[in-house]
């Protein structure tokens, strides 16, 4: 498991959580939130992929 992807996923997850306004159900900066979300999904994908390869 690559710890860099775990760190990236944690940082982006916290950032997305902080930028989300739960009263209006919107992000403060929607365009930046899309970039954060895509990167978050990619980092989680690489985490899962590397974990599957390490179990073989």
Could you list the pLDDT tens digit for every one of the 56 residues in the chain? 678 889 999 999 999 999 999 999 999 999 999 999 999 999 999 999 887 777 76
Domain ranges of the chain: 3-55
The tokens of 29 are what?
């900066």
pLDDT value of residue 53: 76
The closest of 12, 8, 1, 18 to 52, measured between CA atoms, is 1
- CA-to-CA distance for 52 and 11, rounded, in angstroms? 23
């Amino acid at each position: 498991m690559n710890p860099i992807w775990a760190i990236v996923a944690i940082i982006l997850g916290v950032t997305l959580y902080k930028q989300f306004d739960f009263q209006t159900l919107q992000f403060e900066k929607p365009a930046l939130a899309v970039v954060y979300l895509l990167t978050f999904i990619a980092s989680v994908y690489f985490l899962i992929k590397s974990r599957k390869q390490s179990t073989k």
